[in-house]
Amino acid sequence: MVNTTGTESVCLNMGGTVIRTSMRTLTSLPDTFFSSILELPSEQDCLTIDLDFSPDAVQVLLTTLRAARSNLNLAFRAVQLGLVRCGVEVNLLFDYVGLAWLLPTHLPSEFDEPSQAMAVHFDFLEGGPSKRDKDMAGVLRFIHATSVEPREPLCAVVSESKQQLSVLEIDELATTDRAFACGKITDMPLNDNLHLILDFGTGRALYPTGLVLWIVPSSSDQVLFLTVTALSEISGQSKVILKSHIHRSEMGTYDLVFCRLPVSPSLRELYRMFRLTLEFERRYDDPAIVHSSLAEIELFGDYMTCLIPDVLAIQPPRFHFHNDYARYKHGVFETQHVDVVDI
């Protein structure tokens, strides 16, 4: 038999079903059950480890560990597929071997459907912000429901031209309106070349399937361009994951635009920060544009809360999507709040 792994073999016994693997595979992620077992001396030619789990779940574990040798995002996709196939058995096994940090919380949405994975959709509504009656329960709602006090801010507004970074203080805003409490509502004006930075914090990440936006549109005859860029602590890199636009003729006669924006499956990875940029096509100066704003945002996908430091390539300070933000003046964002539905 030819050993292509270059390391000793290990046999995993699941009630009589034996799977032979390598020490290299079982130790590809640190601080696991296997790391401690394999450090013990053994006189056996092939160390045998008994596992009281199904062979299918163990195969998911081995696929995950093999993928983790080269790319943690590939490993996470193996976890996702394994959860679909084996469900609770994978949860139990990963918890037992010390890999519970790889188990996500799934925030379901229409973006889970393959037919919706590529289709951007806009609903144009009349009636003003008080008619915004779709309370979408995604990751921001989940964080609000499960977090303990005090909560860290999730969003900041950045003006690169003025070199300012202004944090949306959740607790302070919530005293004005309870709808602010989960951090979904921003009311960020779209006339000052501002960016919205959403930061889950170090060791936390979202594998995004899509996001939804409530936009108070401008009455001017201009195209609105939307761009979402995401930053990964795992790879240390940022990439554009979504681009779209709303045509000028569609916005002028409506009070609200509800945007449903899927992230292409090929661009889905574990990201810590998201930067949302909304820019109007500037063909001429139009004072009506000052009335346009990003009212609300929500994201969906698989949420991770405790990625271990060993798998992180970078750990930037909060809201520092770019290194340049370190020299920006920091402050608190003063929202131009309008009436919203009380949730």
Helix 55-68 × helix 72-86 angle, to 10°: 170
Residues 273 and 300 in one domain: yes
Residues 317 and 257 in one domain: yes
pLDDT in tens, 160-171: 889 999 998 766
Q: For residue 104, give the nearest of 81, 79, 123, 86 by alpha carbon.
A: 79
Domain stops at, among 103, 118, 145: 103
Give the separation between CA 66 and CA 313, rounded to whole angstroms.
19
- Determine, yes or no, domain membership for 25: yes
Residues 115 and 99 in one domain: no
Instruction: Give the pLDDT of residue 26.
Output: 93
Q: Is the separation of the CB atoms in 209 and 193 below 8 Å?
A: no
Give the separation between CA 136 and CA 212, rounded to whole angstroms.
8
Q: Is the separation of the CB atoms in 158 and 325 below 8 Å?
A: yes
Please give the residue range of the domain that contains residue 126.
Answer: 107-332
pLDDT in tens, 90-144: 999 999 999 999 999 999 999 998 877 778 999 888 765 554 556 678 999 898 8
Q: Is the separation of the CB atoms in 258 and 127 below 8 Å?
A: no
- Determine, yes or no, domain membership for 340: no
Residues 203 and 122 in one domain: yes
Please indicate, yes or no, whether the overall pTM of this predicted structure exceeds 0.85.
yes
Residues 37 and 150 in one domain: no
Domain stops at, among 55, 71, 103: 103
**pLDDT tens, N- to C-terminus, the chain (343 residues):** 444 554 688 999 999 999 999 989 999 999 999 988 876 666 666 788 999 999 999 999 999 999 999 999 999 999 999 999 999 999 999 999 999 999 999 999 999 988 777 789 998 887 655 545 566 789 998 988 887 766 788 999 999 889 999 998 766 555 555 555 555 777 888 877 899 999 999 999 999 999 999 988 876 667 889 999 999 999 999 999 999 998 765 556 778 889 999 999 999 999 999 999 998 876 555 554 447 888 889 999 999 999 999 999 999 999 999 999 989 999 888 765 544 333 2
State whether the Cα torsion 189-192-193-196 is positive or negative.
Answer: negative
Report CA-CA distances (Å) from 91 to 104, 251, 326.
10, 46, 39
Domain stops at, among 62, 79, 103: 103
- Determine, yes or no, domain membership for 339: no
CATH code for the domain in which residue 51 is found: 3.30.710
User: How many folded domains does the chain comprise?
Assistant: 2
Q: Letter for the amino acid at 29?
A: L
292 sits in the region (left: phi over 0; alpha: psi -120 to 50; else beta) called: beta
> Helix H segments across the chain?
23-26, 33-38, 55-68, 72-86, 88-96, 139-146, 170-174, 248-251
3-state SS assignment for residue 323: helix
Residues 61 and 114 in one domain: no
